[in-house]
């Protein structure tokens, strides 16, 4: 069995990787984030949590983020980390630290905190980091066989023009995704954080500025944004499970869709706090359908896929089954169910059975539950679904977190593959192709990457 384990591990290490979902921030954000850097790394890896894609302003949020790691003294920070001793996020980040710095968070104490801080300071190199235009690409490729990474960052700040620190100008290693969330609440121009408000980019999209928009010009803007996105982004991202349910209602007939639009128009320019929640949901239901209709009518060669956050967040509304009606309503659009719908990962197999226009992405799953990830991968392989499942997305805002996620994914997939080989649900000659499918070929096809 040791020979099997070694063979599996070697094949996983050699596999090319497409990182399907990444939030990496510019490296200078970390360097300039405080007198010591450790809290920046831990929080951007979910140990302490960092809202790296700010959406609704705090007074409107229905999903509360945990408290950030303390940044006042290294001692207080060390004590904070100690209390995360049984946390899976911490476990995954630990793998990243071991891979990059040779330091383990096991038996954590203040002296280890000092040693780790020194390693992090050396890695980011102070002022030198500002002079390296492709720091993030180089560092990712130093610790993994990365070929491409799909970047989901606040477009109000970066749009498609990434600042220095990601990659050389003209490079396509990082490919941008466009998050739609703000448009589902766009009736209120004041409720959304500017950094991630798509309408803030009115000049880029050649649309009417938000402060002069009518509902009619807003609908025109939805069409323009969708068409522009198809030419400049590799996917649309719907992460609205952080703000609302994934239930977008039953498929409307033309009359019902017209009524949805008329009701949406009635709340345009009203304050979110003054609008009943069912009317807020109706507005979002209408907006998303307007965009998906536009996307579905584009030629297949221009049509881009849609990544959907499923599971976690506002837990009552994030079961992936709530999104199934839209999979059926738009058969010409390809969807990806991010996070494998955790904790309802068993439900995504129903989607794969019923709808040919959907794949499942296991990004973030190893950070949420390694046990569930192993079970999920084992069933994927047993059901011969490797061509419809993506294994890895870093889904963190710093390299350490993303490398930790990669190491965690490799571990979970390795255990699953060994199980399948032992139980004869995977033929040894198919091992290479299954690994390559899940790490590279499936995401390459989904994102239409060349």
Q: What is the pLDDT of residues 286-322, one digit of tens each?
A: 999 999 999 999 999 999 999 999 998 777 889 999 9
Encoded tokens for 170:
């003209």
**Whole-angstrom distance, CA of residue 98 vs CA of residue 116:** 10
* 3-state SS class at 337: strand
pLDDT above 70: percentage of residues in the chain: 96
**Whole-angstrom distance, CA of residue 160 vs CA of residue 229:** 10
> C-alpha angle 54/224/309, rounded to 5°?
40
Query: What is the maximal distance between C-alpha atoms in the chain?
Result: 68
**Average pLDDT value for residue range 257-271:** 98
Phi first, then psi, for residue 137 (nearest 5°) are: -60, -50
Of 3.40.50.620, 3.40.930.10, 3.30.70.20, 3.20.20.140, the CATH number of 2-27+55-66+135-446 is 3.20.20.140
Locate the DSSP E strands across 91-229. Answer: 146-151, 174-179
Phi first, then psi, for residue 344 (nearest 5°) are: -100, 45
pLDDT tens profile 157-206: 665 678 889 999 889 999 999 999 999 999 999 999 888 889 888 888 89
The pTM assigned to this predicted structure is 0.96
* 3-state SS class at 429: helix
pLDDT tens profile 121-144: 999 986 677 788 999 999 999 999
Encoded tokens for 83:
């209390």
Encoded tokens for 198:
């798509």
224, pLDDT greater than 80:
yes
Domain boundaries, the chain: 2-27+55-66+135-446
End-to-end CA distance of the chain: 38
Task: Give the pLDDT of residue 157.
Answer: 60
**Whole-angstrom distance, CA of residue 203 vs CA of residue 122:** 40
33, pLDDT greater than 80:
no
Phi first, then psi, for residue 384 (nearest 5°) are: 55, 50
């Amino acid at each position: 069995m040791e020979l099997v384990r070694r063979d599996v591990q070697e094949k996983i290490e050699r596999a090319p990787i497409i990182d399907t979902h990444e939030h990496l921030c510019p490296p200078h954000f970390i360097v300039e984030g405080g007198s010591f850097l450790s809290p920046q790394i831990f929080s951007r890896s979910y140990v302490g949590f960092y809202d790296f894609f700010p959406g609704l302003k705090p007074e409107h949020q229905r999903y509360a983020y945990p408290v950030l790691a303390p940044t006042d003294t290294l001692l207080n920070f060390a004590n904070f980390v100690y209390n995360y001793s049984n946390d899976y996020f911490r476990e995954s980040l630990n793998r990243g630290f071991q891979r990059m710095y040779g330091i383990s968070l096991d038996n954590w104490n203040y002296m280890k905190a000092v040693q780790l801080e020194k390693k992090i300071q050396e890695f980011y190199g102070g002022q030198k980091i500002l002079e390296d235009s492709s720091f993030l690409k180089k560092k990712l490729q130093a610790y993994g066989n990365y070929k491409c990474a799909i970047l989901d960052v606040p477009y109000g700040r970066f749009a498609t023009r990434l600042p220095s620190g990601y990659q050389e100008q003209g490079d396509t290693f990082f490919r941008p995704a466009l998050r739609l969330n703000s448009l589902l609440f766009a009736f209120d121009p004041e409720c959304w954080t500017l950094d991630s408000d798509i309408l803030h980019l009115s000049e880029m999209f050649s649309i009417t500025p938000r402060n002069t928009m009518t509902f009619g010009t807003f609908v025109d803007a939805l069409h323009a944004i969708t068409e522009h996105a198809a030419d400049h982004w590799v996917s649309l991202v719907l992460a609205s499970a952080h703000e609302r349910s994934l239930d977008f209602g039953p498929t409307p007939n033309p009359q019902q869709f017209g009524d949805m639009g008329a009701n949406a128009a009635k709340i345009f320019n009203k304050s979110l706090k003054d609008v009943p929640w069912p009317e807020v949901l109706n507005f979002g239901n209408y907006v998303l359908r307007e965009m998906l209709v536009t996307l579905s009518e584009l030629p297949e060669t221009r049509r881009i896929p849609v990544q959907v956050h499923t599971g976690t967040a506002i837990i009552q509304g994030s079961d992936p089954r709530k999104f199934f009606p839209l999979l059926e309503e738009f058969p010409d659009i390809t969807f990806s169910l991010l996070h494998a719908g955790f904790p309802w990962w068993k439900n995504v197999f129903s989607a794969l059975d019923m709808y040919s226009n959907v794949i499942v992405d296991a990004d973030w799953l190893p950070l949420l539950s390694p046990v569930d990830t192993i079970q999920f991968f084992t069933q994927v392989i047993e059901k011969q679904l490797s061509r419809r499942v993506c294994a890895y997305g870093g889904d963190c805002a710093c390299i350490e977190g993303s490398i930790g996620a990669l190491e965690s994914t490799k571990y979970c997939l390795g255990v699953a593959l060994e199980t399948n080989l032992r139980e004869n649900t995977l033929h040894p000659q198919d091992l290479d192709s299954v690994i390559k499918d899940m790490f590279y070929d499936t995401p390459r096809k989904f994102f239409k990457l060349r």
